[in-house]
Amino acid sequence: MDKALSVQNITKRFGDFTAVNQVSFDVEDGKFFSILGPSGCGKTTLLRMIAGFYKPDSGTILFNGKNMDGVAPNKRPVNLVFQNLALFPMMNVHENIAFGLRRRGEKGPGVDKKVRELLERVGLPESGKKQISQLSGGQKQRIAIARCLIMEPTVLLLDEPLGALDAKLREHMKVELKNLQSQVGTTFVYITHDQSEAMVMSDMVAVMNNGHFEQIGTPQELYHKPKSSFVAQFVGNNNKLRVKLHADSSGNTIARYADQYDFKLAQKLETANENEEYDLFIRPEAVIINPGDGRENFHILPVDVTSILFDGGNSRLLVQPLGTEEELVVALPQTREYDYIRSKDRIQIGWDMNKTVCFKRSDWKLYDEE
């Protein structure tokens, strides 16, 4: 596969602050690549360097193997869908979409034909004459993408374009955007702070934090095999147990939770310092309610049910492990099997040892509370 975009060791500083720190990644031609990270992690800076609006302090950016060093944004084979879409209000829809072609010097019926084709592709065949102010949020979205796609860019960059939409429309646009991408086959580089958007749409996701990439992988890899504490917490929901480690007589790593529960880990970790704090992560859906006895490599934890959050297929139990003040989230399958559970019940929960991951505690701020 050819690399549509290749970013190598790119760094950008603003004064003392390093916004993007030694980031490298490749995007294969025709893929949907997402950069996922909380606000302020440097993802917009990275995108603006790829588009050419910022000059990197060091590192190189290549499109189809061509170095873009010193190439101005209007000369790059890349287009950017802005966060606020930035449609031109002084022009109608047709003129907006034709803008790039006209700047390239294309004239006549060829332009009209291309614009019409693209309007059809994004499902708005009749809106060429409309003013931008007459469009709904989702329509503006599609026009903004059409305006870039008509340029047939090597890479289309999208800067959280779904951010301004309401939740329902956002769900819809996610699927639509994914379909559009696979139809046109253009390479998409999408940045977002919404892990659901990144997971649903992308072939590959890079998780970004504090200016560097924590992990690059398929959504499944990120979800099931996070490589860092940050990824484990940022991608999908996760329960975090604060544990301390020690080794048992046969050399296995044991995580001790709340000074009373011992869990044997599948991984072997450094246990020299028994006071060092670790986090043990378990996905809510990996937790089994009242698992019964006799399972191998299984962790059992007695808990009190604090509340039942019924939400159809997404229902959850909030539970408090005995002897702690902490709260864990447990998926509650709606198979009617667990209908007997009531609030304040004492139950047991358990999970397979292989479904946990354990990382040294690292402190970072999650800005993502917008």
Partner 1 sequence: MMKNRRHIKWGFLFFFLPVVLWLFLLIVLPHLELLRLSFTKANTGKFTLDNYLAFFNEPIYWLTFVRTAGYSIIVTFIVMVISLPVSFYISKIVKERISGALMILILVPFWVSELIRVYGWMILLRESGILNHFFVSIGLFKEPVEMLYNDITMIMGLVYTSMLFMVVPVIGVMDDLDNSLIEAAYDLGASKTAIWRTIIIPHCASGLVNGGIIVFMLVLGSYLTPNLMGGKNSLWFTEQIYNQIILYFNWNQGAAFGFLLLALSSLIIWVLLKLTKQNLKEVVK
Q: Does 90 bind partner 1 (CB under 8 A)?
A: yes
Q: Does 74 bind partner 1 (CB under 8 A)?
A: yes
CB of 340 to partner 1, least distance (A): 56
CB of 90 to partner 1, least distance (A): 4
CB of 79 to partner 1, least distance (A): 6
Closest CA to 196 of 171, 229, 165: 171
Site for partner 1 in 100-159 (CB under 8 A): 100, 103-104, 147-148, 151
Name which position in 8, 11, 71, 99 contacts partner 1 (CB under 8 A).
99
CB of 31 to partner 1, least distance (A): 21
Name which position in 39, 84, 136, 220 contacts partner 1 (CB under 8 A).
84
Cross-sheet strand order for the sheet of 261-264: 261-264, 253-257, 239-247, 277-282, 356-360
Q: Does 82 bind partner 1 (CB under 8 A)?
A: yes
User: Which segment (34-42, 70-78, 249-257, 339-347) binds partner 1 by CB under 8 A?
Assistant: 70-78
Cα 363 to Cα 26: distance, rounded to the nearest angstrom: 29
User: Which segment (9-17, 74-82, 168-176, 231-239) binds partner 1 by CB under 8 A?
Assistant: 74-82
Q: For partner 1, how many residues bind (rule: CB under 8 A)?
A: 24
CA-CA distances (angstroms) from residue 93 to 101, 151, 159, 255, 260?
14, 16, 21, 60, 65
x/- track of binding to partner 1 for residues 33-62 (CB under 8 A): ------------------xxx---------
3-state secondary structure 105-125: CCCCHHHHHHHHHHHHHCCCC
CB of 102 to partner 1, least distance (A): 8
Distance from the Cα of residue 279 to its chain's centroid: 22
Closest CA to 350 of 223, 261, 259: 261
Closest CA to 34 of 232, 214, 206, 223: 206
Alpha helix locations (H) across 202-271? Answer: 219-224, 229-234
φ and ψ at residue 113, rounded to 5 degrees? -65, -45
Nearer to partner 1 (CB atom), residue 95 or residue 221: 95
116 within 8 A of 71, measured Cβ to Cβ: no
Binding site for partner 1 (CB under 8 A): 51-53, 72-75, 79-80, 82-84, 86-88, 90-91, 99-100, 103-104, 147-148, 151
